[in-house]
């Protein structure tokens, strides 16, 4: 992937029109979470498979939205440890919402709408989890859940 805000945007053809994942994040996702105060921190794009990555931040919470070989995923993290990311399914499990895989799919607008709905509905809980003062405990809990999931898969 090519790093930087001014890198050429990866494109995909959908229904005869050319769109970009980064543009979908900016035009469809950001307006739906505008009350949460997210800003784009970084973007990376690649012409290979239309791969792209967008990192957003609001307060202590970081959101990484990734399109990898047309599949879209979301990870969450804290500015307390910017290199540490947790899959949204771990976060949803920690919140008691589901044990199933979280966000994923190939249609950017649908996946981004789901992520936005999750953020809007769980915002107070997410802010508490990823607050820099509490992140060490959150990290331990999410690591524990990750180990549980790995053990469940191994059975």
The pLDDT tens digits for 95-130 are: 998 766 667 777 888 999 999 999 999 999 999 999
CA dist 11 and 3 (Å) reads 16
Q: Which domain holds residue 50?
A: 2-154
Contact 103, 114 (CB under 8 A): yes
Please tell me the total count of domains within the chain: 1
Query: Tell me, what's the pLDDT at 101?
Result: 65
Spatial strand order in the sheet of 2-3? 2-3, 39-45, 52-58, 61-68, 71-78, 86-87
Is 133:60 a contact under the CB 8 Å cutoff?
no
pTM over 0.85: no
Structure tokens at 115: 């992520």
Q: Summarize pLDDT for 138-147 with one digit per residue, the tens.
A: 999 999 999 9
- Residue with the bigger pLDDT between 85 and 9: it is 85
Contact 139, 94 (CB under 8 A): no
């Amino acid at each position: 992937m090519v790093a930087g805000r001014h890198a050429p945007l990866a494109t995909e053809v959908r229904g005869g029109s050319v769109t970009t994942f980064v543009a979908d994040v900016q035009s469809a996702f950001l307006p739906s979470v505008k009350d949460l105060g997210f800003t784009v921190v970084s973007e990376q794009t690649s012409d290979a498979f239309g791969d792209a990555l967008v990192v957003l931040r609001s307060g202590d919470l970081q959101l990484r939205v990734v399109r990898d070989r047309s599949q879209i995923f979301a990870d969450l993290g804290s500015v307390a440890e910017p290199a540490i990311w947790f899959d949204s399914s771990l976060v949803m499990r920690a919140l008691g919402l589901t044990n199933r895989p979280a966000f994923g799919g190939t249609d950017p607008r649908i996946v981004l709408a789901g992520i936005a709905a999750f953020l809007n509905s769980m915002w107070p809980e997410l802010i508490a989890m990823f607050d820099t003062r509490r992140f060490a405990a959150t990290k331990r809990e999410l690591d524990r859940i990750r180990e549980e999931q790995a053990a469940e898969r191994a059975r």
